[in-house]
Amino acid sequence: MVEGGFFNLLDVSFSDGLNVLVGGRGVGKTSIIELIRFALGIPNLSDSASRDSSMHAMSILQLSGRVSVEADINGQTVTISRSANEAALPLPLINKPIIFSQTEIESISLNSSGKLNLIDSFGINIDPERKRINSIKREIESLHSEFIVLRKEYDDAHELAAEKQKLKTKEHELLQQQEMFSDNNQNLNEYQKNYTDIQKQLDVINLEINNLGYILNIFESREKELTNIKPFNKIVVNNAYDTSPFFEKVNNFINIQNEKIEQIIQSNKDILNEVQLNLSKLHEQKTPMEETARYYRNEIGKVTEQAGSLLVQLHHIKSEIVTSTGWENVAANKYDQMLITYNKIQDSLKELTSLRKGIYLKREEIVNNLNASLNPMVKVDLTYSTDTSSYMDSIKSTLKGSGLKYNEIVNEISNKINPQFLFYYCFTEKYNEFAELLSIPLDRATRLLGYLKDMDIGEILTAEINDELNFFLFDKGSYKRVEELSIGQRCTVALSIILENKNRGLIIDQPEDHLDNEFIANTLIKSLDVRSAHAQTILSSHNANIPVLGNADRVINLESNGRRGFVKHQGSIFENEIKQAIESIMEGGRSAFQHRAMFYSGD
């Protein structure tokens, strides 16, 4: 039912079997199909056509129009209604009808995603896999963002810790010089022993202070994050129905959540206070010890100015070594965290591969059935995860602006190295192995992998890697790829596959366009006749053979006065008004009825 717009007050009924929309050009046959698509919120199998279909429907409805469709859902009749300015609502339709525009029939076999959607429309349920894949992709992107932060922190700590060996060498040189002075002065030995003993104690305290300072920074940052968490406000609703116990439960849940947040914040404050208390105690111990160390250092300086200078340098070097040792511990900790995150990402990537394999196996079963049914005219070829175009585009996008010459190598990477192994090479920095696999010089592999290693490659890791479908038509003794065919031959391939789907309702706009009469008579008509026993079919057509030889259960004759479209007649092909309409406005109408009469009379 349509209210407003070009089809105001239009009411069309469809039978369970074959329905054919007929009428002259411009009466709105295509518009009826697009209005059904619009009402049910059914997307085009080819993404590029979705916007055109939606705009078509809204132009027919105009600003205030509304279309309503009655659908049988699990044995119950449900009315689905949508106005021109409303978004589509999620519907409880298990098997929504498949709808094809003229353009889609011509182009779907040339579109990678369209071909996959066509196979997926054969009743295979891949929604669980799709939902899990999308969830895993979000997990991977989040984990990789965390991984990038950990790598930066590790690199910084590792760089600072790398100075330790140089400091050790300098310390050894100073100790040798100090030993020369110790041999020449008996008092110096005693002062140095006392100074060394107390300095060892100070080193221990300094290391503890350094470690506590590191912990303090962590929990102070955590405190800032926690204080930014806003407590939930109590939910107040207009209690139009007696649902207050439920909302009371919700508000109790909110109170519990707020209490837990407060507990976490307080726990963080408690540990901060404890860390600060321990730091204060260490500084209290350190102050008198530093005074004592300063006394011995001054006494040593009295013995010899040079010996004192050496002690100052030694003290400075030892402090730096202690700090460097702390950075070694930080680097080791960051590496462990980084390794854990790396393994989580790899496990998620493995699960992605497993889910994609499951989808492929479901598609493979459909493809095998199609090949068995359509052999030898049409052949469908399915290969597992070979469409790496999105993966390749993600690599190009990441490398853009890098200054590296990457165009000619990106294709090699996407074909030879899957996301799991690319992440492996980035993590392990195995430049030689990476260079050998891609057959490129080592210095180039190092620059390329080094750049990717420091980038957020979450988009690359989660890039879609699809199965690849190829359609072939047996023509003049050999199979030809669909890309090599004429428009008519492409439509022959697409419709041959589409008509095999007998599990769902099918709506097609003018399927006979670009088809030869032989295909219409030998394939299209027969397939429509078989479908009538299994699923509803709605077509618009100018070819009389489709409703007449296809034994249409209902023919809807549309008409227009230029301002408004309406149904002139609707009924079976045996009714006089319908028969007259077919003979007068459809191509080959009279001959189609003659052909039918001859066929059923046995002549």
pLDDT tens sequence across 328-358: 788 888 899 999 999 999 999 999 999 999 9
Task: Give the length of the chain.
Answer: 603
Q: Are residues 172 and 106 in the same domain?
A: no
Q: Measuring CA to CA, how many Å separate 351 from each of 132, 136, 308, 426, 471?
A: 9, 8, 65, 20, 29
Taking residues 65-82, report their average pLDDT: 82
In angstroms, rounded to a whole number, what is the distance separating the alpha carbons of residues 385 and 590? 51
Taking residues 197-208, report their average pLDDT: 88
Check residue 556 and give its pLDDT: 92
Query: Which domain-ending residue is among 317, 336, 355?
Result: 336
Q: Are residues 140 and 285 in the same domain?
A: yes
Taking residues 8-35, report their average pLDDT: 88
Q: Are residues 192 and 98 in the same domain?
A: no
Q: How confident is the model at residue 47 (pLDDT cuts 50, 70, 90)?
A: low
Q: Are residues 88 and 141 in the same domain?
A: no
Residue range 446-465, pLDDT digits in tens: 999 999 988 899 999 999 99
Instruction: Report the range of poorest mean pLDDT among 11-25, 194-208, 503-517.
Output: 503-517
Residue 372 scores a pLDDT above 90: yes
Taking residues 541-551, report their average pLDDT: 84
Q: Is residue 78 part of a domain?
A: yes
Half-sphere exposure at residue 23, Cβ-oriented, CA atoms within 13 angstroms: 25
pTM of the full structure: 0.70
Higher pLDDT: 345 or 524? It is 345
Check residue 478 and give its pLDDT: 93
Q: Is residue 253 part of a domain?
A: yes
Residue 214 scores a pLDDT above 90: no
Q: Are residues 201 and 269 in the same domain?
A: yes
Check residue 145 and give its pLDDT: 92
Q: Is residue 299 part of a domain?
A: yes
Q: How confident is the model at residue 183 (pLDDT cuts 50, 70, 90)?
A: low
What is the radius of gyration, based on Cα positions, of the chain? 39
Q: Are residues 191 and 237 in the same domain?
A: yes
Q: Is residue 31 part of a domain?
A: yes
Q: Are residues 179 and 245 in the same domain?
A: yes
Q: Which of 411, 449, 443 is nearest to 427 (CA)?
A: 449
- Outline where 454-486 has alpha helix (H): 458-461
Taking residues 16-45, report their average pLDDT: 87
Instruction: Report the range of poorest mean pLDDT among 101-115, 167-181, 213-227, 530-544.
Output: 167-181
β-pairing, 76-83 vs 66-73, is antiparallel
Check residue 241 and give its pLDDT: 52
Q: Measuring CA to CA, how many Å separate 482 from each of 49, 114, 115, 212, 421?
A: 20, 14, 11, 69, 34
Q: Is residue 274 part of a domain?
A: yes
Q: Are residues 78 and 152 in the same domain?
A: no
Check residue 388 and give its pLDDT: 92
Check residue 181 and give its pLDDT: 62
Higher pLDDT: 559 or 245? It is 559
Q: Are residues 74 and 146 in the same domain?
A: no
Residue range 102-111, pLDDT digits in tens: 888 888 888 8
Check residue 259 and give its pLDDT: 85
**For position 532, which CATH number holds?**
3.40.50.300
Q: Is residue 371 part of a domain?
A: no
Q: Which of 77, 88, 81 is nearest to 2 (CA)?
A: 81
Q: Is residue 475 part of a domain?
A: no
Residue range 580-593, pLDDT digits in tens: 888 888 776 677 67
Higher pLDDT: 180 or 407? It is 407
Check residue 525 and give its pLDDT: 83
- Is the C-alpha dihedral spanning 377, 383, 385, 388 positive or negative? negative
Mean of per-residue pLDDT scores for the chain: 84
Residue 491 scores a pLDDT above 90: no
Beta carbons of 34 and 53 less than 8 angstroms apart? yes
Q: How many domains, the chain? A: 2
Q: Which of 418, 345, 326, 410 is nearest to 145 (CA)?
A: 345
Q: How confident is the model at residue 404 (pLDDT cuts 50, 70, 90)?
A: confident
Check residue 78 and give its pLDDT: 82
Question: What is the span of the domain harbouring residue 250?
Answer: 134-336
Check residue 262 and give its pLDDT: 85
Residue range 245-279, pLDDT digits in tens: 777 787 888 888 888 888 888 888 888 899 899 98
Q: Which of 167, 197, 201 is nearest to 327 (CA)?
A: 167
* Backbone torsions φ then ψ of 535, nearest 5 degrees: -155, 160
Residue 122 scores a pLDDT above 80: yes
Q: Which of 404, 413, 481 is nearest to 444 (CA)?
A: 404
Q: Are residues 154 and 93 in the same domain?
A: no
Check residue 109 and give its pLDDT: 84
Instruction: Report the range of poorest mean pLDDT among 40-44, 338-342, 531-535, 586-590.
Output: 586-590
Q: Is residue 410 part of a domain?
A: no
Q: Which of 592, 568, 593, 567 is nearest to 7 (CA)?
A: 567
Residue 432 scores a pLDDT above 90: yes
Query: Which domain-ending residue is among 280, 302, 336?
Result: 336
Q: Are residues 254 and 157 in the same domain?
A: yes
Q: Are residues 584 and 515 in the same domain?
A: yes
Residue 552 buriedness (CB in 10 A; 0-12 / 13-18 / 19+): buried
Instruction: Report the range of poorest mean pLDDT among 408-417, 521-530, 586-595.
Output: 586-595
Check residue 481 and give its pLDDT: 93
Percent of the chain with pLDDT over 70: 90
Check residue 464 and give its pLDDT: 92
Q: How confident is the model at residue 74 (pLDDT cuts 50, 70, 90)?
A: low
Query: Which domain-ending residue is among 313, 336, 359?
Result: 336
Q: How confident is the model at residue 480 (pLDDT cuts 50, 70, 90)?
A: very high
Check residue 44 and give its pLDDT: 79
Q: Chain-centre distance of CA 334, in angstroms? A: 29
Percent of the chain with pLDDT over 90: 27
Beta carbons of 30 and 102 less than 8 angstroms apart? yes
Residue 408 scores a pLDDT above 90: no
